[in-house]
Structure 1
């Protein structure tokens, strides 16, 4: 168990080093192309057409979110998930999803959008990954429940969007199938708790901003990070109760 946790922690730390560059490139308003240069105007070069690499330009200046903080946070989340999940096969899926989820959260906070270039791999990784995990011995959840959770939460979020498109973003609708899958994997109870936790986090944040007079009742907030945080709570709860 120690080695699994240690490997998860290292994986999170290394993955976290690469997140700031990706998040910086994607933190642009909807409809605009991703950034191809650092704030100083130097072209971003590196592996994968400049997507992979540290958030540094050619003159050594850093850009984007703080690399050290992101790396530590991702490492800690991965380590906690490893402790909670143990050696069950779904742990691999959780560890793959965490860096993608952090990118989505950072971009949503920065520009209030969840880019498809990250969203689609996130959904595919959740659904295909859990389907593969279900075929392996020792899996702690149900692929059927994950699929039903994905369809159910996706449908519910779509209805909410159709009812109030100004108060519920379509990016959250596209995020719902992945969240429904990872929460549904451990059962309907975890799905409900994880979803409620996400809304609770978002509501507390919104109320807190109103109380400190930094927002009004109609001020839009990035909801994706709170939904993702709620999913993390659900996963940890489900992992510990299997």
Structure 2
């Protein structure tokens, strides 16, 4: 006589404990697209066009060739990538597409480095002024106060907010001392060496750069300065070898200070 098989329990599809829990859907916050930053390049081009004038001359307000006004109310085509006057088609400000490429490179550095949010805001503020200053220094060998002072002051205040937000006073005080120290170094070379030293404009630009680098440690500003001096020395050597410059030629240092600061960030972050 065969024993009956035990009845196997049948899972009830309607039982709550047999139903797999649904995976929670995570909503990713939308981040600003990097290409959206390029929409701000007319502002950068406007700053270059306005301030890239020799010392003693007022700010540029129109095309040098035909006098057509240049302003943010009519940004195209003078403040676009073509950088051409709408009236006579003469070039206005920085060479075509160069400001856009510099802005894209700065955004790429920030995307690769991915700094914390507070540091990101401070660096982005400084770069907003450093990018046009780079082109102005190359064009006319000067760094106007209308751009260097807001760059340094805004950077210092944003780092102060970072200290209040939780970083503490120690990195902010270190950033303050580093910015002042780097600026005094540049100013001292001007006082001691005259035209053969760095300019006062470089000292003002170094205020913001030194503060940003000093936020991360005492040796980081030295790293940025070393990178800047190395880059400028290599370029100067290349110009001497190709006879495009002489020993007495004056080369702008602002672009190398900007590049050295970004290079230090890449090595640090």
User: Normalised by the size of structure 1, how large is the TM-score?
Assistant: 0.86
Contact 1:15–1:71 (8 Å) recurs in 2: no
In structure 1, the residue matched to 2:257 is 227
Q: CA deviation at 1:187?
A: 0.6
Counterparts of 1:8 and 1:173, CA distance in 2: 34
Distance 1:151 1:22, change over 3 A: closer
Rg larger in structure: 2
Aligned length: 233
Counterparts of 2:35 and 2:226, CA distance in 1: 31
In structure 1, the residue matched to 2:68 is 42
Alignment of 1:122-133 (within 5 A): 122-133=151-162
Determine which structure has greater relative contact order: mean sequence separation of CA pairs < 8 Å that are 6+ residues apart, divided by chain length: 1
Do residues 12 (structure 1) and 37 (structure 2) align? Answer: yes
Distance 1:224 1:136, change over 3 A: same
CA-to-aligned-CA distance 1:160-202 (integer Å, 9 cap, x gap): 1111111121211222211210110111121111011111111
In structure 1, the residue matched to 2:87 is 59
Runs of 5+ consecutive residues of structure 2 not aligned to the other structure:
1-27
Give the root-mean-square deviation of aligned CA atoms: 2.6
Counterparts of 1:143 and 1:35, CA distance in 2: 37
Contact 1:199–1:226 (8 Å) recurs in 2: yes
Do residues 200 (structure 1) and 230 (structure 2) align? Answer: yes
More divergent stretch after superposition (166-175 vs 205-214):
166-175
Counterparts of 1:233 and 1:3, CA distance in 2: 29
Question: Which of 121, 124, 131 is 1:95 aligned to?
Answer: 124
User: Normalised by the size of structure 2, how large is the TM-score?
Assistant: 0.78
Contact 1:89–1:138 (8 Å) recurs in 2: no
Distance 1:174 1:73, change over 3 A: closer
Write 1 or 2 for the structure with the bigger share of helix. 1
